[in-house]
Amino acid sequence: MRELFRTLLDRLAALFRRRRLEDDLAEELRSHLEMAVELNLGRGMSAEEARREALRSFGGVEQTKELYRDQRGLPMIETTLQDLRFGLRMLGRSPGFSLLAILCLTLGIGANAAVFSWVEGILFRPYPAVTHQEQLLAVTGTARGENGPTLISWPDLLDFERSCTLIDSFIVNKIMGTTLSIGDRAEVTTGSIVSANYFDAIGVHPILGRGFEPGEDVGRNAHAVTVISYQLWKGRFKGDPQIIGKTQRLNGVLHTIVGVAPEGFYGTFVGWAMQFWVPASMEENFEGGAYKLEDRGARWIESYVRLKPGVTREQAQQEISAAAKRLEADYPDTNRGRGVQLWPLWQTPFNNAGTLLPTLEIMLAVVVFVLLIACANVGNLLLVRSFARRHEMTVRLAIGAARGRLLRQLFTEGLLLSAFGAAGGLLVAYWCRHALVLLFPARGGVAMHLPGEIDWRVLALSAGVCLVATLLLGLVPALQTRNLDLAGALKSDSAAVVGGGGRAWIRSGLVVMQVSLSFILLVGAGLLLESLQKIRNTSPGFSTHEVLDTAVNLVSAGYDAQRAQSFQDELLDRVKALPGVESAAFGRMTPLGYGSFSSTLIAVDGYQPPPEEQSTVEYNEVGPDYLATMGIPLVSGREFTRADDEKAALAAVVNETMAAEYWRGRNPIGARVQVKGRWMQVVGVAKDSKYQSVREAPKPFFYVPLRQNFSRGAGLYIRTPLSPETIATALSREVHALDPDLALFEVITLQEQLDRSTSPQLVAVTLVSVLGGLALLLSAIGLYGVMSYAVSQGTRELGLRMALGANASNLLRLVMSRGLGLTGGGVVLGAAGALALTRLLGNLLYEVSPRDTAAFGSACVVMIVTAAAACLLPAWRATHTDPARALRD
Amino acid sequence: MAASKSDVLQGTLDLLVLKTLDSMGPMHGFGIAMRIQQLSQDLLQLNQGTLYPALLRLEQRGWVVSKWGVSENNRKAKFYSLTRSGRKQLEEEAEDWARMSAMINRMLRTS
């Protein structure tokens, strides 16, 4: 055993010292022969005789060397190296072919590698700085009667933490934004409200100062401390080494900076890079509303758990579900019908992993299509070339090359092509790894953070793709050499344009496959495009044009409630007085924004909720004229006026769905609704509109007067035909007249707001369209290649037809009909495939059937027009065949 | 069949080389060839060239080591010498050979 190993090592080492060993060998043999000659001379032979006798008894110097070499190195590796060298020479000899083939493969493999890197960096391992992220799961609540996941309350979370033994730690991480003013510069920043165990639990250690200490997440506004990100420290604080202990105003409250997070740590939220972290005790200051840490009914937490080693998700889910059951029994008022669900990170519903998941799943399928199309193209190129190399192959067979050896040579060339393709592809992936962000507009001046990750898994997968491509490419020459016969190869045979015998079917088959795959992608792109248009044209129930949305940041400027109220009144008067402004209003939450509306338990006289369910309804706090400004029609009653203030009776406006559900056809005006223990009188009914997402079903919703439920962080809505830029200038003038230090948010139309909320659809459309276009281009190249080749090989037939009286238009029709025939076959196959596959688009489609005729029809038109264009040049060339020359050659 | 025959021959040649180096001390290839031919009284028609792959094989297994040196008539030559594990191998193989030839002799005599 040891000797075998020694031998192998020795042989391996020999591969790298060939030249020296070769010299050694020659020297040793020469010295042997010289000694033999000398001995023979000593025996009295002549010089000539002595030499001949020495060589005779040695027995063939070259054979000995050959035997010696076989013993010395590893013959298999050496032939492979030889194949590689030869392959490289062949590729170098036809650079046009090689470049085209490598380009095709680069695009095919690059698309795969780029999507792999996104899947890895966004779905599977989104937090590289976090230790053992495979043990992390996302946690959400569930509520009977509600479709999607819900959030979790702080007291519930503490109870879970106490009763779950399989879970190592619960990590609270709630994203929020604030305006950061450092020096004279103010900008919107994203931060997280976290539990005190946050940094310890995820294994990220601040490079300066400390993380949070146990107990810092307890008490109302009790611990104004913050850990800042590395980028914030380097950028806004200029890397100040004395930063620890300094203070920074965050949302109006001075926080002590206790730590700086390490470089490369961006928090634990897919989509946004966090710039600072505060403990949960500061929640009220950032979240607004009320103090929620002791309110079991206030659900606001997004969180993760870290499993103990060896625990599966199912086990943990069972344990935590049992705990939720106990809470249901102990606190029926707040927890009836409430459960908990654990999700793998890639399904995290509350960040962009959830929103991008369906798109990325589709992309994984799409890139496989692109790869197949690229391989088909290269396969076709190889076929053409192997035809041209038939002579070479035949000669090599004739002088005794084994067929397997020949195949190996061709296979090595395929491997070389795909290896170059893979290298180029990884370069493409490297450039594209952060490209997803480009498809999302920045919100409030903050760009999204969606980094791809190229780690060993992505590299391994790409290598796998490269191998698959090699195998696919290797099939072509394998089919070729199978029926390579020595005698036949020297006879020239010319393929026919129509029908075409022999190997033409492989090429035609490849083209049909390409066309059908591209057709499927075109249909997919068409369906997604239609959905996007439908979504964007859906009426959200409020005006999207001529209404602008902005905000003035009073919270981070340190305004108290009273000062904020009088500021809002004054600003509203000034804005309404601006020329071109029809109306203006404040409201706490903008519809279709990222943040969620507050929800609350309600009670209505004479209404009994179904057993096991709770009457939880979302609401918004809005100022006078809000509905009119937003363009939400009133069905009956009135909306809020300036009279609905702190001193007036509590009022509410409900939407139609809520009226129908809770008052069942009776007129709710004048009826009472209880919200958080306070009774309010319904004064109006508004039409339904979209609140959180364009795609949501109508749901109960109500409005309460901003004055009676005051929030300093309110949005400002302005109805005006003027452009956002004009208003922004005027608005900033008015705001600075009131307070020169205030920072303004960007001014956008509600249409822009709507568009931003549909960016996942936009991403899907863009990606599928780009790759669909790429596929179409590759297929067109494939079709063009096949047709030009058929024409160039069929010159004799074309010439004959011409000589027999066919005119140019006959020939044109002949070639075009063959090309379009192939396309037609591909379209039929593709349509069958598309019918089976488009259902997979599922949730990405919006009010569009997966069998939508418009999408299929337009894909058909695009495909046929492209195919016709691709065939035109070869067909035109066919009409210029010179019959005399064609027949003579 | 041809392969197994050459295997036997190969094994025999290895044994002869090891034995020669054992009794004569460090030698170059030509010397080993001469010595084997001389001892076999020219009965063994050895292609001297085959000695070199055999020497390489023994060296790869660690049974001999080689070193460039100068021969008795001042010529540069590669000298091979037996290692400790080579000596052990020789003992084992010689024993095997003795047992084998004894057995074959017995069989030839009894029939």
- pLDDT tens readout for residues B78-90: 999 999 999 999 9
pLDDT value for B88: 92
The chain-wide mean pLDDT, for chain A, equals: 86
pLDDT value at residue A199 = 95
Q: Decide: helix, strand or coil at residue A876.
A: helix
Query: Any CB–CB contact under 8 A between A26 and chain B?
Result: no
Give A725-760 pLDDT, tens digit per residue. Answer: 899 889 988 988 888 777 777 788 998 888 888 877
A57 at interface of B, judged by CB pairs closer than 8 A: yes
What mean pLDDT comes out for the span A815-831? 91
pLDDT at A702 over 80: yes
Q: Which residues of B lie closer than 8 Å to A, measured between beta carbons? A: 28-30, 33-34, 47-50, 52-53, 56-57, 59-62, 71, 73, 75-78
Instruction: Find the range with the poorest average confidence among A176-185, A247-256, B46-55.
Output: A176-185
ipTM for the predicted complex comes to: 0.86
**Residues of chain A with C-beta less than 8 angstroms from the C-beta of B59:** 10
Structural contact between residues A551 and A396, judged by C-beta atoms closer than 8 angstroms: no
Q: Is A38 on the interface with B (CB under 8 A)?
A: yes
Q: How far is B16 from chain A (nearest CA, A)?
A: 18
Query: How far is A255 from A276, CA to CA, in rounded Å?
Result: 11
CA-nearest residue of chain A to B29?
A32
Question: What is B3-14 written as a DSSP string?
Answer: HHHHHHHHHHHH
Q: Taking residues A552-581, what's their average pLDDT?
A: 86
User: Chain B partners of A24 at a C-beta cutoff of 8 Å?
Assistant: 78
Read off φ and ψ for residue A348, nearest 5 degrees: -45, 115
Coil, helix or strand for B64?
strand
pLDDT top residue among B1 and A174? A174
Residues contacting A177, CB < 8 A, separation 6+: A188, A189, A190, A191, A444, A446
Q: What integer pLDDT is reported at residue B9 of this predicted model? A: 62
Write the residue in B48, B53, B61 that is nearest to A68 by C-beta. B53
Contacts of B60 in chain A (CB under 8 A): 6-7, 10-11, 71
Chain A hits for B56, CB-CB cut-off 8 Å, are 68, 71-72
| Sign of CA pseudo-dihedral A235, A238, A239, A245 | negative
Is the predicted pLDDT of residue B101 greater than 80, yes or no? Answer: yes
Give pLDDT tens digits for A199-231: 999 999 999 999 999 999 988 888 999 999 999
Q: Do B71 and A31 lie within an 8 Å CB cutoff? A: yes
Above 80 in pLDDT, residue A257?
Answer: yes
Q: Give the tens place of pLDDT for each residue, A141-151.
A: 998 877 778 88
**Bridge partner residues of A170 (DSSP):** A305
Q: What percentage of chain A reaches a pLDDT higher than 70?
A: 94
Are B52 and A27 within 8 A, CB to CB? no
Which residues of chain A have a CB within 8 Å of the CB of B48?
Answer: 32, 36, 57-59
What residues have CB less than 8 Å from A91, skipping those under 6 apart? A98, A413, A416, A417
Which DSSP category does A449 fall into? B
Min Cα distance B60 → chain A (Å) is: 5
Query: Residues 6 or more apart from A827 whose CB is under 8 A from it?
Result: A515, A516, A519, A860, A863, A864
Decide if pLDDT at A574 tops 80.
yes
Cβ of B77 and A59 within 8 Å? no
- B85 CB burial (10 A radius; 0-12, 13-18, 19+): middle
Record: contact A35-B48, CB cut-off 8 A: no
- A3, closest residue in chain B (CA to CA): B61
Confidence at residue A499, expressed as pLDDT on a 0 to 100 scale: 44
Percent of chain A with pLDDT over 90: 35
Nearest neighbour of B49 by CB, restricted to A27, A39, A60: A60
Q: Which residues of chain A have a CB within 8 Å of the CB of B47? A: 57-60
- Cβ distance of A27 and B76 shorter than 8 Å: yes
pLDDT at residue A354 greater than cutoff 80: yes
> Stretch A592-615: mean pLDDT, rounded?
78
The pLDDT tens digits for A411-450 are 788 888 889 999 999 999 999 888 888 887 766 667 788 8
Comparing A446 with A107, the larger pLDDT belongs to A107
pLDDT tens digits, A305-317: 999 999 999 999 9
By the 8 A CB rule, do A102 and A417 touch?
yes
* Closest CA of chain A from B110, distance in Å: 38
Residue B49 has its nearest CB partner, among A34, A58, A70, at: A58
Nearest by CB: B49 against A24, A61, A72: A61
Residue A884 has pLDDT above 80, yes or no: no
Q: What is the mean pLDDT of residues A604-623?
A: 82
Residue A616 has pLDDT above 60, yes or no: yes
Contact yes or no for A31 and B76 at CB 8 A: yes
CB A699 within 8 A of CB A562: no
Q: Calculate how close chain B gets to A50, using CA atoms only, in Å.
A: 15
Return all residues near A123 (Cβ < 8 A) that are at least 6 apart.
Answer: A345, A346, A353, A356, A357, A360
Span A618-643, pLDDT tens digits = 899 999 999 999 999 999 999 999 89
Going by C-alpha positions, the residue among A518, A709, A558 that lies closest to residue A623 is A709
